[in-house]
Structure 1
Amino acid sequence: MYSLLLAIIYVAFVSLGLPDSLVGAGWPVMHEDLGVPVAFAGLLTMIIAGGTILSSLASERLTRRFGAGVVTAVSVGLTAAALVGFSVSGSFWLLCLWAVPYGLGAGAVDAALNNYVALHYAARHMNWLHSFWGVGASISPFIMSYAITSGLGWSSAYQIVGITQAVLTVALVVSLPLWGKVHPVRPAYAGGAGGAGGPDRAREAHEAEHEPSAAGAHVPLAQALRIPGVTLVLAAFFAYCALESTSILWASTYLVTDRGVTPATAAAFGSLFLLGITGGRFLAGFFADRVGDKHLIRGGFVTVGVGVLMIAVPVGTDVLALAGLVVAGLGSAPVYPAIIHSTPVNFGRRSSQAIIGIQMAAAYTGSTLAPPLFGALSTWAGTWVFPLFLAVLVVLGLVMSERLNRLVARRAAAPVQRR
């Protein structure tokens, strides 16, 4: 049962990534067919992001009431319906209408699946699962390219992915009896081997003292935000996702306009940033359990910082900047999975669903706001500020995560000291 459900979850993570790149890949053709300006893509993605943030915040209540399996199945089904709706939409306003369930389904399933994996599976699976998300996000542009070049049209790409999501929905519904039979793991302290505050008794004492007394009790948003350390992890997660989305959107432009790289080379290395994240998460899975989440987050931010420094150094060759982009991608790889996986340990198992839902909302907020913010900044100051913008986000993420580490270590050690 453990392995069968895990295989289904792996497929679900591929499915999670599939819709994420479709709008961007197909929009150059879509906006012409729909007769709307190119800039209208921003409206569409804002609607999707808004729905995703709302459903992320509601995921804790939904998951406690219906269970992670039901929420995942319904959310994937909702996304499937939205994708099919996209495929039959002949006007922009219909796309905006279908964008609402598109976003609502994505946020709820993301939060529910991430929390379930954090509670029930080891750190290596969290990294590998997010690597599989990257596989899905990388496949969908090829689906869109095939649909357009073969004469099927952009709508066929949405139809193909929508049918794929519908098949997965059926598999998830069939698998529902398995979701309650996989026992939660007892995660090690997020610092990994040798981390301070590692005894299980310290963590259990903290959970008994700080968590709601009734199993399955709802944790309101205001209560979750008051838990010590939550604002720190939200700031770190916001910073990381802002960094990632800004790099994906603006790295190629910076390389062309400020470093003199040819557009073709810049585009290739821009894709290598994403491939670095996907490949890095796959590699991180082999040592995640031994290294620990805390060290993965710290090492990831530091590595991204090294990559940003390589991008910024004003040398006569563009090789260093191109290599720095790849290094930044590899450094980014373990941060997102490790932050998610450490949540039950840092804040308690009963509060983890609420906090992961808020983390997802913070993630999507960062991903949505940071790229246009940099666009406005670069219009005023120039794209040369790109590495400086990334450096600020790296420092913010690293400082907030280190402050959280110290807080968790003190909190975990306190019950032991009182004995």
Structure 2
Amino acid sequence: MFSILLPIIYIAFISLGLPDSLIGSAWPAMHETLNVPVSYAGIITMTISVGTVISSLAAGFLSKKFRASTITAASILLTAIALLGFSIFNSFTIIWLLALPYGLGAGAIDATLNNYVAIHYASKHMSWLHAFWGIGASLSPYIMGFALTNQHNWQLGYKIIGIIQLIITLIIVISFPQWRKVEHTQSETTLTDNLKEPMTITTKKPIRTIKGIIPALLTFIAYAAVEQTSGLWASTFFVSSRHISIDIAAMFASLFYIGITVGRLISGFVADYFTDRQLIHIGMFSALLGTILLFIPYQITALFGLLVIGLGCAPVFPSLIHATPTTFGKKNSQSIMGFQMASSYLGTTFLPPLFGIISSQLSTSYFPLYIFIFVIIMIITSYKIPFSQFSNK
């Protein structure tokens, strides 16, 4: 039954990735249509992040009331409705309001599945699971670029993605019998129990006193800053600082997500030959190399640098997640996972918008420096994490 359910989880992660890169690729055109400053992208993304945090924290409560399959389908449907709303309205205020359900739809899936995969699957499965998120995140900038090139209409891009989300919702609904079958076997009951387990603290020690937890949380914050700032602002950086046309920049902004997707597929195949710690540090130093390439004032090096940053980011997040039970112990992993996801959302909520403020006051040319700072922070804090301290416990 695991082999039947796992592809369904993969499909859910495709739907999770599809909306994530849309704002960044569409914003150079969106802010002109909406007649708002370029920095207002931060308002939208912060609202999306708030919705994601709310639904993540509510995932434990919701899973007591509804099946995991129902929560998944409802979450994807909510995102689809928000995306279709983006495709209809030209008002920034309405789009800002729609950003909340946009985020609410994503959080529950992310919060309930990561800990299960970390405990019950090998590292390669975590990488492949998040690669499917990358597939969704890679496709949407191309779709948006197509809409901008052929129709000069960013709303068409949102409409297409919204329809795709509706199709994925239908797939999940059709698969409901498979989810019910899973609940009737002992091994799959373990899956259901894990999905229904709320994010409560199981350790008697305060979280802050657990060895390595503060560096781990800082690493998640820094990683979120690198990933989300790259995804949100790369297209704008290409247009304003590297003088690439809006439609081409929207398409090439997907290089970052292509890098993540390809990198995670590769990581899955080589994960048996490397530890989580090794994969994390290989990825971080690759991201550092890509960031350095962004400083070179040529279009081709900027585009290639973004790709390399994506390749570098690829193994970092899945390996950090997968290492949680061996770093902090299985009895602590559920609560620690909640704190790690919250830290990631904290970085996602505040740090990409912070660059929007910086760029509005100074210039988007500071984009490489901003990414560079957080890559360095990520590397330094990761070396303070005591990986595998519970590997034999």
TM-score, normalising length from structure 2? 0.79
Q: Matched residues in 2 for 1:352 and 1:123: separation?
A: 15
Aligned-residue offset at 1:228: 3.6
1:379 and 1:145 map into 2 onto residues whose CA distance is 24
Matched to 1:161, the amino acid is I
C-alpha change, 1:178 and 1:347, in structure 2 (3 Å) is farther
| 1:269 and 1:326 in contact (8 A); partners too | no
Q: 1:368 aligns with which of 344, 349, 374?
A: 349
Q: Is the 8 A contact 1:112 1:353 kept in 2?
A: no
Aligned residues: 377
Deviation track 1:134-176 (CA, whole Å, cap 9, x = no partner) reads 2112223444556674699636325413422421340453332
Matched, 1:275 2:276: no
Q: 1:245 to 1:30 in 2, by over 3 A?
A: closer
> Structure 2: 5+ residue runs without aligned partners?
189-195
Q: Which residue of 1 aligns with 2:334?
A: 353
Quickly say closer, same or farther: Cα 1:38–1:225, change in 2 above 3 A.
same
Distance 2:199 2:115 in 1: 15
The aligned counterpart of 1:231 is 214
State yes or no: 1:166 paired with 2:169. Answer: yes
Instruction: Give yes or no for the alignment of 1:108 onto 2:94.
Output: no
RMSD: 3.8
SS of the residue 1:286 aligns to: helix
Picking from 292, 317, 322, the partner of 1:336 is 317
Contact kept? 2:58, 2:108, Cα under 8 Å: yes
Give the corresponding residue for 2:160.
Answer: 157
Unmatched segments (≥5 aa) in structure 1: 185-214
- In 2, Cα distance between equivalents of 1:255 and 1:23: 15
* Contact kept? 1:233, 1:404, Cα under 8 Å: yes
Between 21-30 and 229-238, report the one with greater CA deviation.
21-30
How far off is 1:296 after superposition?
A: 0.7
Residue 269 of structure 1 contacts residue 325 of structure 1 at CA under 8 Å; is this kept in 2? Answer: no
Matching residue of 2:381: 400
Q: What is the identity percentage for the equivalent residue pairs of Structure 1 and Structure 2? A: 44
* Distance apart, 1:91 and its partner CA: 5.0
Contact 2:80 2:163 in 1 (8 A): no
- Among 277, 289, 302, the residue aligned to 2:285: 302
Per-residue displacement from partner, 1:55-77 (whole Å, max 9, x unpaired)? Answer: 22343454577665454344334
Give the TM-score, by structure 1 length: 0.74
For residue 317 of structure 1, report the CA deviation from its aligned partner: 6.8
1:37 match: 36
Aligned CA distance change for structure 1 residues 95 and 255 (closer, same or farther; 3 Å)? closer
Deviations 1:315-343 (CA, angstroms, capped at 9, x unpaired): x9776555444332221111111111222
User: Amino acid of the residue matched to residue 359 of structure 1?
Assistant: Q
Structure 1 residue 379 displacement after superposition: 5.4
Deviation for aligned residue 1:242: 0.4
Answer with 1-10 or 395-404: which moved more: 395-404
AA of the residue aligned to 1:173: F
1:261-284: CA deviations, max 9, x gaps? 552587776442332222111111
SS of the aligned residue for 2:107 comes to helix
